[in-house]
């Protein structure tokens, strides 16, 4: 019983840490350049995770070609691609941005079909994927008369981030790295942070450290709590509960982010956006129906 409560506590903590990250991004974007802001987040997290690996005597160097490829893939797709989230959230409410992250498991399944030979698609799987994209259509709702409006472009930026993160996860699964997950995450964040700094400089963002208390708190929160600590909790849950159950946090995070966005930032979420989220979740259930059934049977026991 204590074990189960501890797991629920970790699950809830992860949902809150990630849910509050969208508020922190919104606050930091008021005074920080978006790509530079993202780079600061991963600078801090990389130092903490790699430092932990050294202190905990975890193998921290990617010495094989397989592991080197994995950290590069992680840096480019899992980390650097998050620049699109920071750019998109300049015009997209934090709750909507969080809801759009719920598409990651579905897009991951789509990438897996083309890149992982063991993956197959059934008619019901296809329905699940179509439901996922139908839900996204309800969330994005592009206006044909204003396809380049800031709100629409911002949502497409977040879709690019979702596609990049999902692709990175599949590519790393294909590479099958042997590096410890904490070390893999740390190196990926270090490489991703370097890429983000280069992109920030290349597009003309001015390098300035946070000059306001809210911006400083946002950077510290994202780097320490929403990234370093959250990733540690995430990998712990992966080990004790498995990928499917851990992935369900993706559908609790938007609830936290939406409530916080409405209460703290005065944001509003339309009923159509909520319906879109429900449709995306229905697509996820359709795709993972067999794994969910297995999970339920294991939970109930003999």
Write the CB contacts of 194 (distance below 8 Å, at least 6 apart in sequence). 75
pLDDT > 70 fraction of the chain, expressed in percent and rounded: 87
Number of domains within the chain: 1
Nearest alpha-carbon partner for 233 in 5, 4, 7: 7
Cα-based torsion angle of the residue sequence 28, 32, 38, 44 in order, rounded to the nearest 10 degrees: -80
Q: Is the pLDDT of residue 291 over 90?
A: no
Write the CB contacts of 121 (distance below 8 Å, at least 6 apart in sequence). 113, 129
Q: Whose structure tokens read 């294909």?
A: 174
Cα separations in angstroms, 41 against 140, 219, 222: 27, 6, 6
Q: Is the pLDDT of residue 164 over 60?
A: yes
Q: What are 198-221's pLDDT values in tens digits?
A: 999 999 999 999 999 999 999 999
Q: What is the pLDDT of residue 123?
A: 76
Q: Is the pLDDT of residue 122 over 80?
A: no
Q: What is the pLDDT of residue 220?
A: 97
Nearest alpha-carbon partner for 179 in 24, 301, 102, 65: 65
Q: Is the pLDDT of residue 144 over 60?
A: no
Q: How far is CA 277 from the centre of its chain?
A: 16
Q: Are 219 and 210 in contact (CB under 8 A)?
A: yes
Q: Are 268 and 95 in contact (CB under 8 A)?
A: no
Structural domain range at position 69: 2-300
Q: Is the pLDDT of residue 75 over 70?
A: yes
Q: What is the pLDDT of residue 302?
A: 53
């Amino acid at each position: 019983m204590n074990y189960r409560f501890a797991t629920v506590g970790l699950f809830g903590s992860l949902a809150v840490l990630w849910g509050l990250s969208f508020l922190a991004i919104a606050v930091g974007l008021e005074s920080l350049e978006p790509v530079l802001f993202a780079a600061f987040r991963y600078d801090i997290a990389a130092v903490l995770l790699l430092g932990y690996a050294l202190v905990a005597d975890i193998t921290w160097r990617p010495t094989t070609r397989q592991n080197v490829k994995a950290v590069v893939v992680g840096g480019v797709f899992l980390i650097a691609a998050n620049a699109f989230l920071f750019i998109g959230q300049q015009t997209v409410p934090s709750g909507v941005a969080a809801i759009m992250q719920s598409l990651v498991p579905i897009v991951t399944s789509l990438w897996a079909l083309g890149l992982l030979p063991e993956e197959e698609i059934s008619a019901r799987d296809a329905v699940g994927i179509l439901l996922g994209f139908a839900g996204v259509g309800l969330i994005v709702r592009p206006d044909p008369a204003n396809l380049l409006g800031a709100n629409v472009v911002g949502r497409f930026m977040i879709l690019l981030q979702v596609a990049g993160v999902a692709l990175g996860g599949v590519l790393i699964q294909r590479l099958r790295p042997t590096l410890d997950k904490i070390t893999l995450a740390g190196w990926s964040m270090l490489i991703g942070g370097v890429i983000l700094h280069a992109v920030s400089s290349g597009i003309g963002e001015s390098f300035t450290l946070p000059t306001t208390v809210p911006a400083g708190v946002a950077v510290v929160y994202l780097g320490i709590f929403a990234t370093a600590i959250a990733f540690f909790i995430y990998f712990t849950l992966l080990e004790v509960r498995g990928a499917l159950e851990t992935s369900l946090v993706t559908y609790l995070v938007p609830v936290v982010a939406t409530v916080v966005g409405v209460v703290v930032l005065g944001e509003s979420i339309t009923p159509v956006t909520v319906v879109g989220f429900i449709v995306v979740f229905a697509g996820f259930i359709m795709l993972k129906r067999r794994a969910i059934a297995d999970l339920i049977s294991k939970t109930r026991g003999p």
